[in-house]
Amino acid sequence: MSKKTTITKLPRVRPVTSSSASKQLDLLTFVSNDSLNVSTLNKVRRISSARSPKPVNKSRANTLPLSVDRSKTFKNFISGESNQRARECVRRLFESPNDGASVIYINALSGLGKSHLLYACANELFAKYDSPIRYFHGKEFIYGPSPKEESIPSVVFIDDIDEITSDSGIQNEFCRRFDYLKRSGVKIVMAGSILPKNMKMAIPKYSSRVGGALVEKICKIDRDLALKIIDNLVILNRFELSNDVKELLADCFHYHVYGLESAVLKLKSYSDTFGKAVDIKTALEELKLLGPVLDSQINSKKIILRVCELYKVEFEEIFSRNRKKECAFARHLCMYILRERNGLSLARIATLFNRDHTSVIYGINKIIATIESDSSLKKTIHDIV
């Protein structure tokens, strides 16, 4: 019986095309020692390395947090009497990092520059020392990674700290993290709009931590500082304003930087739209939308400020329910001048001072009676107007 011969079928060989041949040759060039002399390869490597760009310097060991506004620096922070102490307190932190208070609290109302100071300090520390820093806004400090879970920074900034007083649980967590940072030698810089002693919802443990800080207050913008800020805004926006319009803005919107900036941009928009310079009459007309106490004859806010300055009364107290003799008299005098000299209606004055029209009539009549018995008040009113 004859044996069967098994025929193994060979795989079909595809024809070699020019492209596949070149790929195979390229592959062989890299895997075969015989395809290229070793000395030739070394020579090629030397040539390629000589032509390659120089290695890039190593990046910083630390990175600046994304929450830090890089545009806010000490160079563009306009300082004056109202914010000078707070500015110098924060500046000392990066000029002498190992000296000074370990916990700082900057207190100011919105728009007075407390966040600008914190940003400026963070930027300076990073640029000068490459310091590892952390920057939090309010509750971010509570909900962010625990300090034990990440590298210990040299400085921690906590802005809008008022948010943390909303809940006792959040305050307890704040105290836990605060204590850990302080034990680790970390400097803590906080900012908020409420003084520690006035935080009514704060638990005792939280009050003791925040209250133990070096507190520096940024006061309201005074007239000189307001004019400096206006000059800076005009330059930044490539815009021209006459001195009398600048003085009007300083008198009307000096409460915070946002108001001044809004007023300057409003007038710039008018000038760009109509191609005209802004005079005092145009400014009064355009700025009516930004402030309910502006009128076409005399600026009402300027009158109120002059009365406050003369009788040593805080501006906010004029509009409050404070019934102290000096405050009530100043309020009634404002009502009288706005009515008799400025021509405001009783309804508008009542709205301005958040009172009913009968209270306004009562206040005006009190001043009329005082003028009849004290003629010197007439001269005082003339000097104010």
User: How do residues 222-267 score in pLDDT, each as one tens digit?
Assistant: 888 999 999 999 998 888 899 888 988 887 776 678 888 888 988 9
Q: Among the three residues 171, 186, 217, which one is the final residue of a domain in this structure?
A: 217
Q: What is the CATH number of the domain that holds 363?
A: 1.10.1750.10
Q: For residue 190, what is the enclosing H or E element?
A: strand 187-192
Among 217, 248, 277, the domain-final residue is: 217
291-348 pLDDT, tens digit each: 543 443 446 777 888 899 899 888 888 888 888 888 999 999 999 988 877 667 777 7
Do 345 and 254 share a structural domain?
no
Do 208 and 240 share a domain, yes or no? no
Mean pLDDT of the chain: 78
Quick: pLDDT tens for 117-169.
999 999 998 888 777 889 998 888 988 777 766 678 889 999 989 888 878 89
Let me know if residue 78 belongs to a domain. Answer: no
Percent of the chain at pLDDT exceeding 90: 25
For residue 88, the model assigns a pLDDT of 92
Indicate whether 147 and 209 sit together in one domain.
Answer: yes
CA dist 284 and 270 (Å) reads 12
pLDDT of residue 343: 67
For β-strands 103-107 and 187-192, DSSP reports them as parallel
Residues 360 and 314 reside in one and the same domain: yes
Cβ atoms of residues 219 and 83 within 8 Å = yes
Rounded CA Rg of the chain: 35
| pLDDT greater than 90 at residue 379 | no
Same domain (yes/no): 142, 181 = yes
Q: What is the pLDDT of residue 118?
A: 94
Does residue 315 share a domain with residue 277? no
Which of these, 147, 172, 162, 183, lies nearest to 105 by C-alpha position? Answer: 162
Which band of pLDDT confidence, cut at 50, 70 and 90, is reported for residue 274?
confident
Phi-psi region of 160 (alpha: psi -120 to 50; beta: other; left: phi over 0): left
Q: Is residue 2 part of a domain?
A: no
Closest alpha carbon to 189 in 169, 161, 162, 208 = 161
Cβ atoms 81, 222 nearer than 8 A:
yes
What is the phi-psi region of residue 111: left when phi exceeds 0, alpha when psi lies from -120 to 50, beta otherwise?
Answer: left
Does 177 fall in a domain? Answer: yes
91: amino acid identity, one letter: R
The tally of domains found in the chain comes to 3
In a domain, 11, yes or no: no
pLDDT in tens, 167-202: 889 999 999 999 999 999 899 999 998 888 888 888
* Full domain range(s) for residue 125: 84-217
In a domain, 53, yes or no: no
In this structure, are 120 and 206 located in the same domain?
yes
The structure tokens listed for 81 are 């009497």
Does residue 212 share a domain with residue 139?
yes
Among 113, 172, 163, CA closest to 140: 163
Q: Which of 169, 172, 165, 224 lies closest to 197 in space, CA to CA? A: 165
pLDDT of residue 290: 62
Residues 96 and 126 in one domain: yes
Domain CATH code at residue 243: 1.10.8.60
**Of 249, 255, 377, 226, the residue nearest 315 (C-alpha):** 255
136 and 90, same structural domain?
Answer: yes
- Are residues 275 and 320 both part of a single domain? no
* Tokens, residue 104: 């700082």
CA–CA gap between residue 176 and residue 164 (Å, rounded) = 13
pLDDT of residue 84: 92
Give the integer Cα–Cα distance in Å for 213 and 342.
47
User: What's the start-to-end Cα distance of the chain, in Å?
Assistant: 137
At 359, is the pLDDT very low, low, confident or very high (cuts 50, 70, 90)?
A: confident
Average pLDDT on 67-85 reads: 90
The pLDDT value given to residue 149: 64
Evaluate whether residue 109 is within a structural domain: yes
**Between residues 24 and 206, which one has the greater pLDDT?**
206
In-domain check, residue 8: no
The CATH number linked to 117 is: 3.40.50.300
The pLDDT of residue 94 is above 80: no
Copy the structure tokens of residue 270: 């008018």
Domain boundary among 175, 193, 217: 217
Answer whether residue 356 shows pLDDT above 80.
Answer: yes
Residue 52 is predicted with a pLDDT of 39
The reply to whether 108 falls in a domain is yes
Q: Are residues 312 and 258 in the same domain?
A: no
How far apart are the C-alpha atoms of 230 and 250, rounded to whole Å? 8
Output the CA–CA distances (angstroms, integers) from residue 205 to 159, 181, 291, 361, in the order listed.
20, 16, 42, 49
Query: What is the per-residue pLDDT across 5-52, written as a single tens digit (0 to 9) for each?
Result: 455 444 454 554 444 444 443 433 333 344 334 444 344 344 344 333
pLDDT tier, 281 (very low <50, low <70, confident <90, very high otherwise): confident
